[in-house]
Every structure is written in C-alpha cells, then in structure tokens.
A and B are shown apart, each in its own frame.
Chain A
C-alpha cells in the first residue's frame, strides 16, 4: 500500500519533470517495500501481527504511522502552494494544479492526518489509562482503522487514477456538482471521506462505551485522567456530528451519480443547505481534533511540572462546555451568507462564549506549572510552545467571531492564518507532544531529545514566520485560494517571508523523521516502564505493555492513580499485589476487518467511475464479511495463568 505523495496524473499529463520524478519514486518505494517483505519473508508476519490485529496498541501505532505519512504528503502540498505564492504571478503551478493541491491539502490534513492522529493517541493511551485490557469492541476498532485506511487510500488514489478533486476541502456545491466539476475527482473525495467517516463514527461509539464501561474498579469519572475526559468529550462530538457529514456527503454524491437536485442550481436545489450541513459537522469537527490535544497537554504539563493538574473540575467542566457549545456556532463559517442580523448575532455571541472555557484551560495549565518543577523535555516543549500559539490563535478566533468584522476577514488570509494557528498550534503540537510522550510506552525506547529539540525549534519558529505574515496579508485584502496575485498590492514581501517560514517547518518535519530513524537504533531503552516519572496508570506497565495490558486489573484509589501508588510505596504503605493471577479473556485476531474494508474500497472505487457491477461486487463482499462475522464462533480465547506468569516474569514483574 503506497501512500507516497504524488500529483502524478496531472503533472504527468503535462509532462512536468518534477512529477515524473515523483511517479518514479512512488514506483521504486512500492517495489522496495514488496521486495523487502518478500526477501525477509515478512508477508506472514505482516498479516498475522498487523493486518489482522485487534490489539488497540498496534492499531494505535498503525494510525500514527498513517497520520505521519499523511502529514508528510499534506506538508509537501503546502510547500508547493507556498512556492507558487512566494512571488507574484509565478508560473510554477497551473491553476488547475493549484486548486487540486489546496483541496487535497485541506482534506488530508483534517480528515486523514488530524483524525487518525487523535485516534492513534486514543488507542494508545485510553485503555491503559483507565486500567482496561482493550477497548469495548476490539473487532470494531480494527474495522474502524481499516475503513479509515481504505478511505484514505481511495482518496489518495485520485492522484494516480482519474484526477484529484479541486473544489476545495469544503467541496461546496454548485461548484462540486457535475456541471462544474465533471471529472471523477469529487467522487473520490466524497467516497473516500464517506468510507473513513463510517470508521470514525464506529471509533466514537467504541471509545464512548470503553470510557464509560471499562474503567478499572475505583476509577470514578472524577478520578479519570484528563486525557480520557477529553476523549469522552470528543467521542460525544463524533457521535452527534459525523452522521451530519455522512448525510451531506451522501446527498452530494446522490446529486452527482444519480442526477438528483439537492444542491444543484436548477430544479429546486438549494446549495446553501450543503453549506449548513457541512459546517454543522465542520465546527464540532474542529473541537473533535483539538480536545484530545487539550487532554494531552494536561497530561504532559502535570507530569513535567511534577504537580497535580490545577483546577481539575474546572478543566472537566470547560471541556464539556466546549463540546456542547460547539454545536451552536456553525453559522460563523458563513456570516456573509446574509442570514440576517438576528441569526448572525446569535452565532457571533455563541462563538465568543466558547472562548471563555478555552481561556480558562490556558490559565489552569499555567497554574499547573506555577509552583511546580518544570522539566523541559520535548513533550513539554511542544506543550509550552502551544500556549502562546493558542493564545494568539484563540484571540484571532474571537476577532473573527465579531460578525461585522468577519465581513472583512472572511475568506481572506486572516482566516487562513487563524485556523492554521489553532489547528497546527493546537492539534499538531498536541499530537506531537503526545507522540513524544507515549513513544517509549509504544516502542520501549525514547526518541532522542536533542534532535527532538531541534525539530521543535525549527517547526515552532517556522510556524510564526509562516503564519504571522498571513494575518497581515488578510488585513491587506489578500483572498484565499488564489494561485497568483498582482504585484502592486504590496503582498509580495509578506508572501515571500511566509514561504520561508513554510520551508522552515518542512525542515522541522524532516528533523522529526530523522529523530525517529536515529532513535530506532540509538534511542535510550526504557526498562522501567515509567521513564518520565508519570502519574497515570499507563506508566505502571512495562514498555511496551504486554498484549493483555494488565496482568491484574489495578484498583484505583485516587486521581493520578499511579502517582498515588508510588507515593504509598515510598511511604511503605503499599503492599505487593497478592491477588493470584487469573486467566485472561482476550479477543482473537481476525482478517475480516481488513477484508470488509477492502470490499468497501472496491465498492467505492466502482462508484467513483459509475462502474456499477464493480460497486455491487464490493457491496456483496461487505455483506459476506458481515455474515461471516455474525456466524463466527471462535472469537475469543483465554490466556492461561502460566503464560501470564511467564510473560510477567520476562518483563521483570512478578
């Protein structure tokens, strides 16, 4: 499976040498992967250990790898755009290429980078933090991952086959309708998102149930780590928001392939209804991807300040408030539709209100550090870097919420700067903090701190150099999504600086990759399982955790459960866990999630090109997989006590 970046078809058609190179490199990388897997006889390993796994930890790792690949591809998109905009009237990209690139950049970054990254962190940390052996529905979890994977694959395939979508990541009709976007590109967009969206809903349900029903004894809701709270808030948002996206995409798809008139100009269609539906999902979506980042910052800041999180109840309340209010702000994405001053006032004020709980969180993080002992590790760097970033991004968000002012900012570079500041400064910084933080837990070794610091500083500095000028450009009247701009507007210098910043961020990303590659060989091994002196239950386990996580389900007596256990141990109060081991009931691996999602992919591919026989075949495959699962008998097994004892002894735990 190849997820390398490519704009192949279109550039290929025009014979751009850069893209020939990209094309060739994709082929070479794919061939290399196949060769390595074959040569080292790893196909069986790949199938048994990864493609069929239902272990949340492995699924989390796969999400993370996919997210990093998509971050790379979306980043290359960004660099191409910034190169085109470095100077006025550049001829680096043609408008159709530019339009495709910003469309895929946005779609990838939100749906195929941010979403899998939060799912990665959820999968890696939530069951360990609540003292569970897996999520509530491990099989469904695998289905979710593979639906995401094949959805992303379908979307990415558009570069090689058929042409990519070019109506913007929001894909507004009527532009995205057949008369204005006749190619298969939009179909790729709609179906890729639809397939991965089904997976997202399933993940939402899965983690909602996991957090509510699978907590270890003694872990009341108000003793849960804040990351779990943030995930709970996010899953609520997913459960209520994603079906709306499903409908918006489905209706547009029905318009496109069946000739219906939901959003067309003629025959009674109403394009603005799509815009409403899209943002009824889209605004909660912003919080879906940023709340888990808030959760991660809360974990990191407490751990590396060696202090309890400040204002825990306030943090919980603010997250829940954000989750609820975020359903009542969607119109601020189109104040300029002119829905009337009453409507605009309502949504302006509701948007401002959401800034209040967000601001409270920032103060609570600050106060957590206050009178703490701050260790500036790489996860902490990303967290500290996030705070000014988010303060500025949040401030520009409040500015945007002022409806009359938004008439001036809307669709300008001010808006672009704002949402990149909150999405990069919030989500990306948060996910990278989480990745560095939980990396030892995932793999048993640390990422190199020195390289990590270099990566952070390049990325963080590049961020400001890239996006602060864009605020100015917005004030200077530069609109988004233009591939050339005139020379006399005074935009040139700011654009040039912004492009430099983008490349600095690119260097930061390369250093991050270098850090990973370097640390695989040279990273410090984590033998204690608690390398950061952590506070929550995941640090009570060996790194990486055994596949059943907890040999004995822990009993929780306090918030920051593991910290409390360590304190008790220091005081000599803790008795060794005398409970005998018991056989552990675990789900069996299954190839069905992979095959089910593959069938969805086939059906989606058929629909993209209106090849209905192929689509029917795909749906039959889906049905068959569902039936096989329904009739399956042997879905779980018990790990015998001897094996648990052996594993624990090998890990140095008795």
Chain B
C-alpha cells in the first residue's frame, strides 16, 4: 500500500505516512468510543445498585454468589489483560512471533473467563434464579452479561486480528489494529474490576 510520491507541499503532510496519521485518528476515536461505552456501563451500574435489594421472591446476592468462582474469573481476566499488554509490548519491539503467542494466551484466558461465566449463569438459572424472577436478577444478568458479551465480541475481534497479523506481519495497519483491540481488552478489564467490587464483593459482604 505504500504509494510513493514526491514531498512537495509542506501543508500536505497528511498525505505522507497516512497510515501513521490514520492510526492516530483511529486510536483517538477509539478512546472517545470507550468513553461512551463507559457511560453505558455507568448506567447499568446505577441500575444495578438501585435494584440490588429488589430481590422479590428470588435469592439475594449473598445467596447466589460463589466466592471461588468469581475469584477465579477475576484472576483469569486480570491475567489476560497482562498478557495482552505483553503482546503489545512485543509488537512495539517488532517481535511478531512473541506477539502472536501472547495474543493466543490472551484469547485462551478470555475463553476460559467466558466459559466460567457461562457456567455460573447456567448453574444459577437451573437453580431457579432466572432473570425473570426479580429486578435484582434482571439487573445482575444484564450488567454482568453485557460485560460478558463485550468480552465474547473481543475474542472474535482479537481472533480476526490475530489471523491478519499472522498472515501479513507487522506491516501497514496491523500495529494500529493490535493496539486498539488491546485498548478494548484493558477497558473490559477495568470494567470487570468494578463488577468484581460493586456486584460480587459488596454482594457477599452485605
């Protein structure tokens, strides 16, 4: 894609190294997107906090949350954020193989997280704690589920970028893409820290 043309116009710098400029634009835009996504989660958190004691005939948070399970989920996701950071680090040093390895580790950890969460949801639902039971459960499944959907989407996205990086190497748009998906992954990690605190810890401690 590298089209070479004469640098003739001081004010047309945008034409040069447009990949770099476009990457900068995309990264800035993605930060703004994360801001709006953060608002979305903030609303879900507010909803959850308001409804968390509206348990109706259903279980309370303390009845339902399984400390080892959510601790495991937390450790796995935090670790995946770390490995994702290692992948970006490797990329900045031009070490494609290492980057791919760390991305694969991140993906596996992500899959484990989603699997654990799905099994937690299934276990609760089979025990009768479905989202139709009470407002608390509606808010719980929606907040945690929205995060889970984000992670699942992130897995698909990262997989697609992994394939591209594997095929094309670290040329052109790839570094920017890896960086952005990494931002997304770290963002989900931060959101999870809040879920861990507000939903799980405060739930079992109440």
A residues near B (Cβ < 8 Å) are 136-137, 201, 204-206, 208-209, 212-213, 217, 239-240, 242-244, 246-248, 250-251, 254-255, 258-262, 264, 266-270, 273, 277, 552-553, 555, 579-580, 582-585, 623, 627, 630-631, 633, 636, 638
* Complex contact B133–A267 (CB within 8 A): yes
* Given known A-B contacts A137-B29, A239-B32, A246 and B11 have beta carbons under 8 A apart: no
* Complex contact B36–A247 (CB within 8 A): no
Q: How far is the CB of A135 from chain B (nearest CB, A)?
A: 10
Give the nearest-CB partner of A218 in chain B. B11
B164 interface hit (Cβ, 8 Å)? yes
* Complex contact A246–B40 (CB within 8 A): yes
Give the nearest-CB partner of B135 in chain A. A268
Q: How far is the CB of B23 from chain A (nearest CB, A)?
A: 12
Q: Which residues on B sit within 8 Å (CB–CB) of A623?
A: 156
Bound Cα distance A373, B58 (Å): 72
Q: How far is the CB of A195 from chain B (nearest CB, A)?
A: 16
* Complex contact B51–A262 (CB within 8 A): yes
B15 interface hit (Cβ, 8 Å)? yes
Contact bitstring B134-171, A, C-beta under 8 A = 1, else 0:
11111101100000000000001100110010000000
* Complex contact A273–B134 (CB within 8 A): no
Interface size class of B (residues with CB under 8 A): 35 or more
B residues near A (Cβ < 8 Å) are 1, 3, 5-6, 8-9, 11-12, 14-15, 18, 24-26, 28-29, 32-33, 35-37, 39-40, 43-44, 47, 50-51, 54-57, 131-139, 141-142, 156-157, 160-161, 164, 177
* Given known A-B contacts A208-B32, A243-B40, A267 and B134 have beta carbons under 8 A apart: yes
The secondary-structure label for the interface of chain B is helix
* Complex contact A213–B28 (CB within 8 A): yes
Listed by A's residue number, 11 A-B pairs whose Cβ atoms lie within 8 Å are A137-B26, A247-B40, A259-B131, A260-B135, A260-B142, A266-B56, A267-B134, A269-B135, A552-B9, A582-B12, A631-B160
Q: Which residues on A sit within 8 Å (CB–CB) of B37?
A: 243
* Complex contact B12–A270 (CB within 8 A): no
Q: Which residues on B sit within 8 Å (CB–CB) of A201?
A: 36
Bound Cα distance A259, B142 (Å): 12
* Complex contact B9–A627 (CB within 8 A): no
* Complex contact B135–A261 (CB within 8 A): yes
Count chain B CB atoms within 10 A of each CB in A212, A254, A584, A630 and give the residue with the most: A630
* Complex contact A205–B33 (CB within 8 A): yes
Q: Which residues on B sit within 8 Å (CB–CB) of A137?
A: 25-26, 29
Q: Which residues on A sit within 8 Å (CB–CB) of B12?
A: 552-553, 582
Count chain B CB atoms within 10 A of each CB in A201, A247, A627 and give the residue with the most: A247
Q: Which residues on A sit within 8 Å (CB–CB) of B29?
A: 136-137, 205-206, 209
User: Which of B3, B51, B139 interacts with A638 by CB under 8 Å?
Assistant: B3
Q: Which residues on A sit within 8 Å (CB–CB) of B28?
A: 209, 212-213
* Complex contact A217–B32 (CB within 8 A): no
* Given known A-B contacts A137-B29, A239-B35, A260-B142, A583 and B5 have beta carbons under 8 A apart: yes
Q: Which residues on A sit within 8 Å (CB–CB) of B51?
A: 262, 268, 270, 273
* Complex contact A261–B25 (CB within 8 A): no
A137-B29, A239-B35 provided; 7 other pairs, C-beta below 8 A? Answer: A205-B32, A208-B32, A259-B131, A262-B138, A270-B54, A277-B43, A552-B9
Q: How far is the CB of B63 from chain A (nearest CB, A)?
A: 15
Q: How far is the CB of A342 from chain B (nearest CB, A)?
A: 19
Q: How far is the CB of A608 from chain B (nearest CB, A)?
A: 20
Q: Which residues on B sit within 8 Å (CB–CB) of A240?
A: 35-36, 39
User: Which of B5, B136, B142 interacts with A582 by CB under 8 Å?
Assistant: B5
Q: Which residues on B sit within 8 Å (CB–CB) of A267?
A: 54, 56-57, 133-135
Give the nearest-CB partner of A244 in chain B. B43
Bound Cα distance A209, B35 (Å): 13
Q: Which residues on A sit within 8 Å (CB–CB) of B137?
A: 261
* Complex contact A553–B11 (CB within 8 A): yes
* Complex contact B40–A583 (CB within 8 A): no
* Complex contact A270–B32 (CB within 8 A): no
Give the nearest-CB partner of A640 in chain B. B5
Give the nearest-CB partner of A584 in chain B. B15
Give the nearest-CB partner of A205 in chain B. B32
- Please name the 7 residue pairs, one residue from A and one from B, whose CB atoms are nearest each other, closest first: A268-B54, A268-B135, A260-B138, A247-B43, A243-B40, A243-B39, A259-B132
Q: How far is the CB of B125 from chain A (nearest CB, A)?
A: 12
Give the nearest-CB partner of A202 in chain B. B33
* Complex contact B43–A630 (CB within 8 A): no
Count chain A CB atoms within 10 A of each CB in B11, B50, B136, B160 and give the residue with the most: B11
Give the nearest-CB partner of A217 in chain B. B11
Bound Cα distance A633, B1 (Å): 9
* Complex contact A243–B25 (CB within 8 A): no
Q: How far is the CB of B32 from chain A (nearest CB, A)?
A: 5
Q: Which residues on A sit within 8 Å (CB–CB) of B40?
A: 243-244, 246-247
Q: How far is the CB of A322 from chain B (nearest CB, A)?
A: 19
* Complex contact B36–A273 (CB within 8 A): no
* Complex contact A261–B9 (CB within 8 A): no
Give the nearest-CB partner of B146 in chain A. A250
Q: Which residues on A sit within 8 Å (CB–CB) of B50?
A: 270, 273
Q: Which residues on B sit within 8 Å (CB–CB) of A269?
A: 54, 135, 138
Q: Which residues on A sit within 8 Å (CB–CB) of B1?
A: 633
* Complex contact B164–A630 (CB within 8 A): yes
* Complex contact B18–A262 (CB within 8 A): no
Bound Cα distance A278, B75 (Å): 36
User: Which of A239, A261, A630 interacts with B161 by CB under 8 Å?
Assistant: A630
* Complex contact A268–B134 (CB within 8 A): yes
Q: How far is the CB of B18 from chain A (nearest CB, A)?
A: 5
Q: How far is the CB of A134 from chain B (nearest CB, A)?
A: 11
* Complex contact A136–B47 (CB within 8 A): no
Q: Which residues on A sit within 8 Å (CB–CB) of B8?
A: 579-580, 582
Give the nearest-CB partner of B54 in chain A. A268
Q: Which residues on A sit within 8 Å (CB–CB) of B156?
A: 623
Q: Which residues on B sit within 8 Å (CB–CB) of A583?
A: 3, 5, 15
User: Which of B15, B55, B139 interacts with A585 by CB under 8 Å?
Assistant: B15
Q: Which residues on B sit within 8 Å (CB–CB) of A579?
A: 8-9, 11
Give the nearest-CB partner of A579 in chain B. B9
Bound Cα distance A182, B141 (Å): 24
Q: Which residues on A sit within 8 Å (CB–CB) of B36?
A: 201, 204-205, 239-240, 242-243
Give the nearest-CB partner of B5 in chain A. A583
* Given known A-B contacts A262-B135, A555-B11, A630 and B160 have beta carbons under 8 A apart: yes
Give the nearest-CB partner of A240 in chain B. B39
Q: Which residues on B sit within 8 Å (CB–CB) of A261?
A: 54, 56, 132, 134-135, 137-138
